Amino acid sequence: MHPESTSTGKTRVFNAAVIVASLGYFVDIYDLLLFGIVRIKSLQSLGLDKEQIEHYGLLLINYQMAGLLIGGIIWGILGDKRGRLSVLFGSILLYSVANIANGMIGGDNAITWYIVWRFVAGLGLAGELGAGITLVSEVLPKEKRGIGTMIVASIGISGAIAAYFVSTYFGDDWRMCYYIGGGLGLTLLFLRISVVESGMFHNSRQENVSRGNYLKFFTDGNRFKRYLKCVLIGTPTWYVVGILIFFSNSFAEHLGVQGKIEPGKAIMICYAALTIGDFASGALSQYLKSRKKVLYIFYALTLASIIIYFSAHGVSTTAFYCICGLLGFSVGFWAIFVTVAAEQFGTNYRAMAATTAPNYARGMLNVITPVFLSLQTVLEGRFNSSYLASGLITGLICMAVAFIAALTSDETFGKELNYVEND
C-alpha cells in the first residue's frame, strides 16, 4: 500500500493508524507500569528484605527511565530518517522481548538481570508513543487530530488498569504478568499490514533538508527553546506517578493513614482516573480550541491535588485512594502534552520531538528523585517529617517549572503540520 500524500477532512478518526497506535500504547503502558505494580512481590520472591526492596525498587525504576531517555533519542532519529511505522513496530518488538526475558530471571544474578532487562524494556518503551502520536497527527486533518491523539492516550493509559487486574488474578505469579505483556506486544505486530506510512513523511523525503539530526535541536536558539519547553511541560506527570503514587505506601505511613496502602492498587486507581483525565483534557481542548488553556486548568487541578495529598494526615485508606485518583485525573493532560510536542516542529524533526519529549518527561524522574532525596537530608530536623516536606517542596518546584514552560510556549491548536524546517 502507498501512503496518502495528504490528510483530508474526510479521513475517519477511528482508522487503522489510530487503532494500532492506541493498542500499542495500551501495551506500552501495561509494561511500563507493571514493574511498579509487581515491584514488592517480585523483589520479595528474589529474597530481598524491606530495606533492600526500597533501595533496588528505586534503582530499577531509574534504570528503566535511563533506558527511556536513551531510547527516545535513538527511536526519534529513526522515526525521522526511516519512518514512523518502522519505529512503531520496532519498539513494540524490543519491549515485548525484554518483558518476556524479565519473567525468566532467577539465580544468583537475578537482580543484575532484572536491572538489565528493565533497562532494555525502557529502550523499547521509548519509541511507541512518540511514533504513534506523530503518525496519527500526520494522517488526520488538523480539525480532527486532537480527537485522534485523545483516543490514543485514553485507550493506552488504560493499560495500567489491565496490568493491575492481571497481577491481581495471578497473585504471587508476577512472572506470568511479564509473559502476558510480552505476548500482547508480539500479537500486536500482526496488525502492521493494515497501517500505511504518513503521507507527510513520504513527501518530506523528497525535500532536500536535514532529517533525523538530533543535534539540530541544539544548534538553533529558537528551536532549542521550543524543544526544552516541550519537555518541561510534562514535568508534573512523572513527579506524581513516579514519586507520590509509586511510593504511596511510604507516604501513607508518614501521613499516618489508617491502614495499609498497596502501591499496585494506587497505580491502578491513579491510571483509571488518568484515562478519564486524558479524555476530558482532549475534549476540552477541542471545545476551547486551545492547548495552553487546558494545560493551565489541569496544572491548577494538579497543584490542588498535591496539597490535598500532603494534608491527608490520619485519613482512611479509602480516602487516600480517592486522593490518588484525584492526582491521576489532574495529570490527565498527557495527551495534550505529547500532541503539543508533535505540533511544535516540522515534519523532518517531528518524530524526534514527539518521541524524545515524553521520554525526557518520564526520565525527569532521574532528576526529581535526587532532588527529593537531597531535600530530605537538608530538611532533617526542621519539620516533623522531612520525608513529607521534601516531597511537597519537590512537587511545588515541578509545578513552577511546568507552568513557566507552558506560559512561554506557542499555541498550536489548528496549526498546519505539512511543512519542513530549513536549517
Q: Where are the domains of the chain?
A: 16-191+217-407
Summarised one tens digit per residue, pLDDT across range 208-238 is: 677 778 888 898 899 999 999 999 999 999 8
Higher-pLDDT residue of 154, 96: 96
- The answer on pLDDT for 5 being more than 50 is no
The CATH number of domain 16-191+217-407 is 1.20.1250.20 = yes
Q: Which of 98-112, 236-250, 257-271, 350-364 is predicted least confidently? A: 350-364
Dist. CA 340–CA 26, nearest whole Å: 20
Lowest-confidence region among 24-38, 193-207, 382-396: 193-207
Share of the chain above pLDDT 70, in %: 93
pLDDT level of residue 330 (50, 70, 90 thresholds): very high
Which residues contact residue 111 at a Cβ distance below 8 angstroms, ignoring those fewer than 6 apart?
Answer: 46, 48, 56
Q: How confident is the model at residue 1 (pLDDT cuts 50, 70, 90)?
A: very low
Helix (H, G, I), strand (E, B) or coil at 66: helix
Model pLDDT for residues 143-185, shown as the tens digit of each residue: 778 888 888 888 888 888 888 889 889 988 999 999 999 999 8
pLDDT of residue 4: 44
Predicted confidence at residue 193, as pLDDT, reads 62
Lowest average pLDDT, out of 63-72, 120-129, 197-206, goes to 197-206
Q: Percent of the chain scored above 90 by pLDDT?
A: 37
Q: Measured between alpha carbons, how far is 29 from 279 in angstroms, rounded to an integer?
A: 16
Q: What are the DSSP calls for 181-241, one per residue?
A: HHHHHHHHGGGGGG----HHHHHHTTS-S--S-TTHHHHSHHHHHHHHHHHHHTHHHHHII
8 band by pLDDT with thresholds 50, 70 and 90 = very low
d(CA 203, CA 73): 23
Cell representation of residue 120: 532494555
Which tens digit of pLDDT belongs to each residue from 373-417?
Answer: 899 888 886 767 789 999 999 999 999 999 999 999 999 888 888
Question: Quick check: 49 pLDDT over 50?
Answer: yes
So what's the pLDDT on residue 145?
A: 81
Residues 236-248: what's their mean pLDDT? 91
State the pLDDT confidence band at 311, using cuts at 50, 70 and 90: very high
Please state, rounded to an integer, the average pLDDT across all residues of the chain. Answer: 86
Amino acid symbol at 7:
S
pLDDT at residue 194 greater than cutoff 70: no
Q: Report whether pLDDT(269) > 90.
A: yes
What does the pLDDT read at residue 3?
44
